[in-house]
Amino acid sequence: MIRGTWSLTDPLVPVNVPATMIRVGEHKDISPETILANTGVDVEILGDPAARLSFQQMMIICENLLTSYPDGGFGIDLGAAININQFGMLGYAILSCKDLRSALALGMQYHTLVNPAFTFDVNHYDDRLEVCFTSHIPFEHIYRMTCEVFVISFTCLSRFLTGRPDLQPIEIHLNHPEQPYSAKYQEYFECPVLFDQPRTQLVVGADMLDMPLMMADQATAAMAEKQCAEILSRMGPKEGLIAKVRRIMLSEPGNFPSVEELAKELATSTRTLSRSLQDLGTSYQKLLDEVRKEMAIEYLRNSSLPIEEVAQLVGYNDPSNFRKAFRRWTSNVPSYYRNED
């Protein structure tokens, strides 16, 4: 799942994220104990601003909420509940930017301070912009939730930052099917909300990003951005070749690129890529096997999907071939990880 150089067990997610999730759940009478079940996280730790949770813990929290949230739509409600202060120093920096364009650029540069599990980019056209979101989470229901959070929180935060509660995108695109609770989008948007689209994105007017922010302060923005850079540098090394290869492999779970496609994505030749990986003590096949193994273990531990479906999600159409590969990777059968608890 997700990572560049990060592990599922690395504590990287600030506690204000799960704390907000708990508050949203409590509004629907879901107790913190239910939300935190099987995570090993005590409620008290959520009051420590320096504490962080792992992606593994966050996925269990998401699973607990999605299975107990009445009427669905947790991602929509969570997106509306997020405020800029929850982004820590990055939120402070964004708040001080001169306009939405600067704020978006800053968010794109330092989003890993809040959550390395997603990326976003902007496509520019004459009269409009597409703010595109990519989540690197393989579980469909959690992936869908993160897309919902993005389109709602981006819009609500843009309205807050500009002081324009009437701010509207031109269109909302979601790359998942319409859900039973999808009418809730109309509480936040007066624009078309389109489902089953190629990408999750907001289509906005070209002039939207030039809107000034109410609390713009150039000196404060510069100071806060410097702090963001220092925090990011302490989180780990910059993404190297192995991390880039893993990120690309994980960008479309189940649809792994060939070595030729990977080289093209990295703007290099297949021979150069293979030689560079060899110099680092690895290879395309070794990295692919590592990614498949980690994804398979994660699916087996954190979902009830049949083993045949897990096999397909990690690129094996034949379950027997998957079982052979899994035993080679782990010296265990797939059911070992499903039954270990």
Cβ burial, residue 85 (10 Å; 0-12/13-18/19+): exposed
Number of neighbours of residue 98 by Cβ within 10 angstroms: 14
pLDDT at 257: 87
pLDDT at 285: 93
Q: For 274, left (φ over 0), alpha (ψ -120 to 50), or beta?
A: alpha
State which H helix or E strand residue 185 sits in.
none
Residue 141, helix vs strand vs coil: helix
Query: Domains in the chain and their CATH numbers?
Result: 11-234 (3.90.1520), 241-338 (1.10.10.60)
Tell me the per-residue pLDDT of 276-316, one tens digit each, with 9 for 90 and over.
888 888 899 999 998 888 888 877 876 677 888 888 878 88
pLDDT class of 238 with cuts at 50, 70, 90 = very low
List own/partner pairs for 92-95 with CB under 8 A and 24 or more apart. 92/220, 92/224, 93/221, 93/224, 93/225, 93/227, 93/228, 94/161, 95/161, 95/213, 95/215
pLDDT at 2: 39
pLDDT at 1: 36
- pLDDT score of 320 more than 60: yes
Query: Could you tell me where the beta strands, DSSP code E, fall in 136-224?
Result: 171-173, 193-194, 200-205
Q: Between residues 239 and 109, which one has the greater pLDDT?
A: 109
pLDDT class of 254 with cuts at 50, 70, 90 = low
Spatial CA neighbour of 87 closest among 257, 198, 224, 183: 224
Nearest 5°: phi and psi at 132? Answer: -100, 140
State how far the Cα of 62 lies from the Cα of 64, in Å rounded to an integer.
5
- Please list, in sequence order, all residues whose beta carbon lies within 8 angstroms of the beta carbon of residue 211, skipping any fewer than 6 positions away: 99, 100, 162, 164, 167
- pLDDT score of 165 more than 80: yes
* Most confident option among 101-115, 131-145, 158-172: 158-172
Residue 237, helix vs strand vs coil: coil
Looking at the chain, the whole-number percentage of residues with pLDDT higher than 70 is 92
Pairing of strands 52-54, 11-14: antiparallel
Residue 230, helix vs strand vs coil: helix
Q: Compute the average pLDDT of residues 249-273.
A: 84
Lookup: tokens for 227: 């702090």
Whole-model pTM: value is: 0.69
Spatial CA neighbour of 145 closest among 176, 119, 123, 124: 176
State which H helix or E strand residue 121 sits in.
strand 118-124
| H runs (alpha helix) in 236-269 | 241-250, 259-265
pLDDT at 179: 92
Spatial CA neighbour of 292 closest among 265, 329, 262: 329
State how far the Cα of 78 lies from the Cα of 153, in Å rounded to an integer.
8
Nearest 5°: phi and psi at 123? Answer: -105, 130
Q: What is the dihedral of CA 282, 285, 288, 292, to 10 degrees?
A: -120
Tell me the per-residue pLDDT of 220-229, one tens digit each, with 9 for 90 and over.
888 888 888 8
